[in-house]
Structure 1
């Protein structure tokens, strides 16, 4: 029986249009969950939108519409993009959903009843952008709050607090005893260092006089829930927590795919402490795959700088597969990547058009020219062994969520096959009747290698995978087990060749 692989992504703020960074995160999660489906794991992929908070309320007011109208309009932009990019999510989390609201309020009431939530007055500084109260430790060396906090105002208000500080010692012990909870490892080290410095508690409410757009506290109708407390609960509310025990037992714990900017403090500190306070055991804590930023000219994308990159534009201009491949191949998980149009085109032309696409076209054309497209099973032992090792290494990489490495390994097989064409020179073999068996072996080896390549690229390039299998006239229903050598039977007739990856011509060319 296969295990359940439950993957969740950070839900997106609906006060901004989706950009390349959003696309990267969702494609990364999509590749991982498609891989686990390929392995035969029972998988569930949850993503969605965070629809509450002060920023949403302000953005709606600026447009002169209600928050409900605003989030409906902006949520549609994300849904449209995920459909275009073939993001194969199973569940959609919208924090305005009544199921989610009920779950959040039940958790709040339970924590309040346990004494983990109390009321206190606070006077200090507040980041409007991050919707977070700040302390002196957030100040820079010059004594000021940095630009990452946006507008900072001084407030005095009475709010409800979660006893976050009570869970500091447990969090340190948990991180020490669970290496691999956060990937890459240096992010776990950063998280532990932040937990070591943890002091004070977490304000989990905002007065309705300042913020009306949120989930009302069940024990104080004059306040709404702090957006991060609300948003984080989506990971369990939409998995059935407190509403469908059977579903929740099957799915949880999850792997959260999140950006490096929200591991500290939101996910790594607030969320883990919240779960512990709810009664979750250490073995039921989620894991985190933390990715870096997609930069433009070395800078984080920002409206103020004017360097936002719209994934719709790139998908329409260069194709969905080119965007998916470039982001997965060039971005090392956990590190930042610098996004450039030129690099995208270069990666597409070199890897997809020249390497894989050319291999497919040459193989089908030679098979049609020399054997009317009919294969005789007789392979190269060296290439079949190379393919088997490729599958083994690919599996090891993706089991560690190393998508870029898995693609590099996959293209190693394509490169080896292209070299094999030059070494074996089938155009010469075709001229010598005594070399007929050798020619059969070359053609079968190339076609079978392409079938395996089509399976390996399926998580990252589902459309291209289907295209290759169609041209090979191979079965479209595939699993990772189908990468075993010999899937194309003796006498198999290949399909018609078509250009799968037409080169992208640039002005310089």
Structure 2
């Protein structure tokens, strides 16, 4: 509408324990498993009449090289170190969990999955170093996170203090990841490499001209990604000496019967099946007109049909 060129990046992150285990269960190599699923995601483009500039996969060779260069920059800044640690880990979230985040010793987002306990030597990112820089950044950019409630939430989280977090896994235990460039016994933790897609997709580090044209960029993320997108990723960018994101919009969940729609809960609604029955315009209209931009929106077939009719 404003006649401004936009680079719309869409795609999949493909590393990590969850993908690795699913591939093993399917008796497939992880790369083949990812190749098949990438086609399914790309099918949404046709089925929902979508358009985007780029479909990124974190197994792309350019992304792998970008992630390794990013790692080396953080290492040079003194923000990566190795230590032994013990954590509780949610495979569904692909994140460490503290006791204060749990409900009945379960992740509230994946209550049907048991937490796993890991004790090993990993590389860590010096997140604690960036408490003050992040708070200064938030205060200087009060519109950085939308809506305001999420801005206040992440600001309060950072004010309480930050803990360094693991950014690698031992290759002997979990080989499906990007090799750590300074240690071939480790692969990068999935979240560390996946976040870098925002800049690898627009040519970083080789294509400085293209990168400068589109970065800092605008990000859209679910509310369960608030910390990763608006604190962890921003600290990583600071460490690598790169500009922070321009703005992050945090949206709510699509729910069914009041619960988050997810594969792990088994309550997924297939949008392509809706398109086949009602047409693509009806589905797109419902999503644009009836799904709240930042609060949870409950979906039922009955409500959809009422609006459709």
Q: TM-score scaled to structure 1, two decimals?
A: 0.58
Query: How big is the shift at 1:146?
Result: 3.4
Structure number with larger C-alpha Rg:
1
> Do the aligned partners of 1:215 and 1:230 also contact (CA within 8 Å) in 2?
yes
The equivalent of 2:225 in structure 1 is 262
2:283 to 301, 317, 323: 323
The equivalent of 1:291 in structure 2 is 251
Does residue 1:102 correspond to 2:85, yes or no? no
1:182 to 124, 145, 156: 145
Does residue 1:89 correspond to 2:52, yes or no? yes
Does residue 1:274 correspond to 2:245, yes or no? no
> Do the aligned partners of 1:101 and 1:215 also contact (CA within 8 Å) in 2?
yes
The equivalent of 1:23 in structure 2 is none
> Do the aligned partners of 1:49 and 1:75 also contact (CA within 8 Å) in 2?
yes
Query: How big is the shift at 1:331?
Result: 1.3
**Superposition misfits of 4+ residues, deviation over 4 angstroms:** none
The equivalent of 1:50 in structure 2 is 13
> Do the aligned partners of 2:92 and 2:264 also contact (CA within 8 Å) in 1?
no
Query: How big is the shift at 1:303?
Result: 4.1
Per the alignment, in what secondary structure is the counterpart of residue 131 of structure 2?
Answer: helix
Greater share of residues in strand? 2
Per the alignment, in what secondary structure is the counterpart of residue 146 of structure 1?
Answer: coil
Query: How big is the shift at 1:302?
Result: 3.7
Query: How big is the shift at 1:294?
Result: 0.9
Query: How big is the shift at 1:340?
Result: 1.6
Identify if the C-alpha distance between structure 1 residues 296 and 133 changes in structure 2 by more than 3 Å, giving closer, same or farther. Answer: closer
Query: How big is the shift at 1:157?
Result: 0.4
Q: Deviations over 1:382-404 (max 9, x none)?
A: xxxxxxxxxxxxxxxxxxxxxxx
The equivalent of 2:215 in structure 1 is 252
1:128 to 91, 98, 104: 91
Structure 1: give runs of 5+ residues left out of the alignment.
1-37, 350-509
> Do the aligned partners of 1:129 and 1:151 also contact (CA within 8 Å) in 2?
no
The equivalent of 1:217 in structure 2 is 180
Identify if the C-alpha distance between structure 1 residues 135 and 300 changes in structure 2 by more than 3 Å, giving closer, same or farther. Answer: closer
> Do the aligned partners of 1:172 and 1:196 also contact (CA within 8 Å) in 2?
yes
Per the alignment, in what secondary structure is the counterpart of residue 43 of structure 1?
Answer: coil
> Do the aligned partners of 2:77 and 2:240 also contact (CA within 8 Å) in 1?
no
Identify if the C-alpha distance between structure 1 residues 306 and 128 changes in structure 2 by more than 3 Å, giving closer, same or farther. Answer: closer
Does residue 1:151 correspond to 2:111, yes or no? no
Query: How big is the shift at 1:341?
Result: 1.7
> Do the aligned partners of 1:128 and 1:152 also contact (CA within 8 Å) in 2?
yes
Q: Deviations over 1:242-283 (max 9, x none)?
A: 1100101111111111111111x21111101001111134xx
The equivalent of 1:114 in structure 2 is 77
Q: Deviations over 1:98-157 (max 9, x none)?
A: 1000010011112112211011110232222223233333234x6x34343532122210
Greater share of residues in helix? 1
The Cα RMSD (Å) is: 1.5
Q: Describe how 1:428-467 pairs up with structure 2 within 5 A.
A: none
Does residue 1:167 correspond to 2:127, yes or no? no
The equivalent of 1:342 in structure 2 is 302
C-alpha distance in 2 between matches for 1:124 and 1:180: 34
> Do the aligned partners of 2:82 and 2:123 also contact (CA within 8 Å) in 1?
yes
Query: How big is the shift at 1:216?
Result: 0.3
Q: TM-score scaled to structure 2, two decimals?
A: 0.95
> Do the aligned partners of 2:84 and 2:120 also contact (CA within 8 Å) in 1?
yes
Identify if the C-alpha distance between structure 1 residues 111 and 302 changes in structure 2 by more than 3 Å, giving closer, same or farther. Answer: closer
Q: Using the TM superposition, name which of 85-94 and 118-127 deviates more.
A: 118-127
Highest relative contact order (Cα 8 Å, sep 6+), 1 or 2? 2
Query: How big is the shift at 1:183?
Result: 1.1
> Do the aligned partners of 1:322 and 1:344 also contact (CA within 8 Å) in 2?
no
Q: Deviations over 1:195-250 (max 9, x none)?
A: 12233201110001221010000000000001001000000011111110010111
